[in-house]
Amino acid sequence: MNNSPQRMEAAQARIRQAADSLTTPITRRSVLKGLGLGALTLAAPIWRPLQAQTVDPNQRFFAIFHPNGTVKDDFFPDSGAAVTSSRILAPLANFEDRLLLLKGVHMDSMIGSDKPGGPHMKGPGAVLTGGWLSEGSFSGAGGPAGYANNISVDQVLANHMSTDTAFKSLEYGVAMRGQEPLKYVSYRGANKPNPAVDDPWKMYDRIFSNFTLDSSEPEVNAQLDLERQSVLDYVKDELDVLNRRLPAQDRPRLDAHLTHIRSIEQQLQTVPRQQCEVPILGDEVSLRDADNYPLITRLQLDIMFQAQACGLTRVSSLMFCNADSWQTFPWLGIDEEHHGLSHNLDSGSIQKLVDINVWYSEQLAYFLDLLDSVPEANGLSMLDNSLVLCCNEIGQGKNHTHEDIPWLLAGSAAGRLRPGGQMLEYGDEPHNNLMLTLLHAFGMNDESSFGAPEHCTGPLSGLLA
C-alpha cells in the first residue's frame, strides 16, 4: 500500500526524464512491435479527409466517467458560491474559472420500467448516448439487458472531428471489471460498445508502437509498407468474399470488421504532430492489485494526454472503473468496496465516499494541469481548447437516482463555452439537451436533436458563449 505513491513518483520522474532527453527527431516507420519513444517529425499525411462540416482542428473532447454516483451535499456548492467551494471539488480550486458545474440536468432517458437493466447498468448505457439499453441476455446488476441502443456523443464528435487523425477515438479505463454492459459508455452505434482498455501497457503499444527512432532505412520502410498493405488488402478481400456468402443478418458484423481494418490503414497512414513526446511507462504492474490503482490512473491519464498532444486523436474517454464498481481504495484507508459504501447512510461511509470523490478530483486536477501546460497554435492552452466532460452513471448511490447527475465541464472547447467559475442551475433538463449542446460547441450547429428524440427538447440555454 505504501509504495504506490513512490511508484507513482518514480513513474513521473521517468516521464520527466524522458521528456528532457527526447531531442532526437524521428520519422515514421512501420514496425510490428516496438517500444517507441521520442519526438516525431512530420511526413506528409497520405490520407486526407473530406469534411462536410466545419471542424476547428484545435478543439478536443474528453469524457471522464466515475461510478456509483456522488455525495450531492458535498459535491454541489451552495448557490452562488464558488464551484470549488464544495468539499469534493475543492482540489480543483486552481481551475475555478475554467469549470462549469451543471445542476438540474437529469438522465431521463434511462428511466422507465419498460427499459431493460438495473439502474447501475442503465446509467452507463445512457450517460453519453441519450438512449437506453436494448433487450439482451446480460444479467448481473439487475439485468437482463443488452448494449445501448444509440451512438454516444463522443463517437458522434469523433466521426465529426477525427477524420484526419490516426485514431478516431481512444477509450481508456482503470480497473474495468464486472459484467457486460457495465464496462461501456462509448458506443459506435447501437449495440456497438467501445471497450475501455484498462491496461496502460496495452494502450501504449496500441498507440505508440508504430513509431521508433530509426529513420535510416527508407527502402526497408517501403518494403514493409508494401507487405503491410498487401496483408490488409487480402483481409479486406476475404471479408468481402465471405460477406457475399453469408446471410444478410451476419453482414453488419463483417462490415464492422472491415471498418476497423480501414481504421488501421488510417492509423498507419497518418503521423503524429512534431515534437510529440511519448510517455515511458516503467515496468508492468499487476492490474488487479488495488494498491496499483493510483499508478494505473496516472499512466492512463498521461497516455490519454500525450496521445492527444501528439495529434493522434481528438476524442478520448476514460472510465474510472466499470459502473457499479466494487473498487477499494486502500491508499485512502478505505477497504470497503465503493458500491456498497454508496448505499450506506452513516456518516462514516459518507466521509469515505467524499474521500473517494476528493481523490478523483485530485486526479482530474492533475490531468487539467497537464492540458494547461501546453500552449497551442491558436494561442490558447490545450485545456482551453478542450472540453472535459465528467459524468456518472447515477446521481447518488444510495437511491440510484437519475436526477442531478454530477456533470462537470472543464475547458471551453476553444472558447465556445461561456466563461467558467459558476454552477448553472437548471430546472429540469434531460441530459440529451446537454449532449446536443456539446455537438453545437463542436461546430455541429445543424444538429437539432440527440439520442432519443422524446428526451431532447433543445440545447441547454446559457451554456455556450
Partner 1 sequence: MRHSRSLTVRTLLTWLVLALSQVAYAQRSYVEDNNLVVPRIDVEGYGALELTFRIGYDGQYLFWLLRADQTSEAIANSGVFNPQDLTIAIDEIELPTGELYSATLQLLSQDPFITFVVIEAEQLNPGQVDPGTDTSAGAEAYASQCASCHGVDGSGGSLPIPVNSGLSRVDLVDIIETTMPLGNPDNCDAQCAADIADYILLELSDGSGGGSSGGESLFSCTAPSNDPGPTALARLTPLQYKNTVRELFGPGVNLDQALPGGLSDQEVGKALADASQFDVEGYRAAAAELAEYVEARVDDYAPCADSGSGAAARQCATQFLESLGTKIYRSPLAASDVDALLTLFDVGYDSGGYARGMALLIEAMMQAPRFIYRPEIGNSLLADETAVPLTDYELASRLSFMFWNQGPDDELLALAEEGRLNLDSVLAEQVLRLSNDPRAQESFLDFFDIWFGLTGLEWVEKDPNVFPAWDDIVSGAMREQADGFFSDILFGPNGSLNALFTTPLDGYAPTALDDWYADASTPRDGLLTLPALLSVHSKPEESFPIYRGLFVREQLFCHQLPPPPDDIGDPPPPTAGMTNRDRYAQHTLDPGCQSCHAQIDPLGFAFENFDATGRFHEFEFLGGVTVTLEAEDCEFSNAHDPTPSDDASGGIYIDFEAGGKLSCEYDGAAGPHDISFTFKRPGGVTRSMGVFVNDSKVGVLSASSNEFVTVTFSNVELEAENNLIEIRDTEGTRQLDIDKLEIGVGSDFPAPLVDASGELTGTDVDGSFTGLADLSVMLGESETVRACATRQWFRHVMQRYEVPEDDCSLKDINDAFRQSGDKFESLRSAIVNTPAFRFRRVFSSDEEAP
The 13-52 site mask, x for binding partner 1 (CB under 8 A), equals -------------------xx-------------------
- Cβ contact 270:47 at 8 Å: yes
Task: Quote the CA–CA distance of 29 and 211 in Å, as a whole number.
Answer: 6
Q: Tell which residue, 69, 71, 137, has the closest CA to residue 107.
A: 69
Q: Measure CA 112 to chain center.
A: 27
Of 101-140, binders to partner 1 (CB under 8 A) are 110-113, 116-119, 121-122, 136-139
Stretch that binds partner 1, among 172-180, 370-378, 431-439, 451-459 (CB under 8 A): 172-180
**Distance in angstroms between the alpha carbons of the first and the last residue of the chain:** 45
Task: Quote the CA–CA distance of 411 and 62 in Å, as a whole number.
Answer: 10
Of 259-318, binders to partner 1 (CB under 8 A) are 260-261, 263-264, 288, 290
Query: 230: Cβ–Cβ under 8 A, 6 or more apart, which residues?
Result: none
Candidate residues 80, 247, 379, 427; the one interacting with partner 1 per rule CB under 8 A: 247
71: number of CA atoms within 13 Å, CB side?
Answer: 27
CB of 81 to partner 1, least distance (A): 26
- Cβ contact 88:361 at 8 Å: yes
Of 396-425, binders to partner 1 (CB under 8 A) are 398-402
Candidate residues 18, 42, 213, 239; the one interacting with partner 1 per rule CB under 8 A: 239
Task: Quote the CA–CA distance of 423 and 406 in Å, as a whole number.
Answer: 11
Task: Quote the CA–CA distance of 301 and 3 in Å, as a whole number.
Answer: 20
User: Does the footprint of partner 1 cover residue 2 (CB under 8 A)?
Assistant: no
CB of 445 to partner 1, least distance (A): 28
Candidate residues 346, 379, 428, 446; the one interacting with partner 1 per rule CB under 8 A: 346
Candidate residues 28, 98, 168, 352; the one interacting with partner 1 per rule CB under 8 A: 168
- Cβ contact 105:407 at 8 Å: yes
CB of 327 to partner 1, least distance (A): 9
Of 318-337, binders to partner 1 (CB under 8 A) are 326, 328, 330, 335-337
Complex with partner 1: residue 142 or 421, whichever CB lies closer: 142
Complex with partner 1: residue 26 or 121, whichever CB lies closer: 121
User: Does the footprint of partner 1 cover residue 358 (CB under 8 A)?
Assistant: no
Given the DSSP bridges, would you call strands 192-193 and 25-26 parallel, antiparallel or unpaired?
Answer: unpaired
Candidate residues 19, 90, 93, 197; the one interacting with partner 1 per rule CB under 8 A: 197
User: Does the footprint of partner 1 cover residue 179 (CB under 8 A)?
Assistant: yes
Complex with partner 1: residue 9 or 237, whichever CB lies closer: 237
SS3 227: helix
Q: Which residue has the cell 509504495?
A: 3
- Give the binding-site size for partner 1 (rule: CB under 8 A): 84
Complex with partner 1: residue 34 or 420, whichever CB lies closer: 34
Task: Quote the CA–CA distance of 395 and 414 in Å, as a whole number.
Answer: 29
Of 202-221, binders to partner 1 (CB under 8 A) are 202, 205-206
Complex with partner 1: residue 290 or 414, whichever CB lies closer: 290
Q: Which cell is 393 given?
A: 452513471
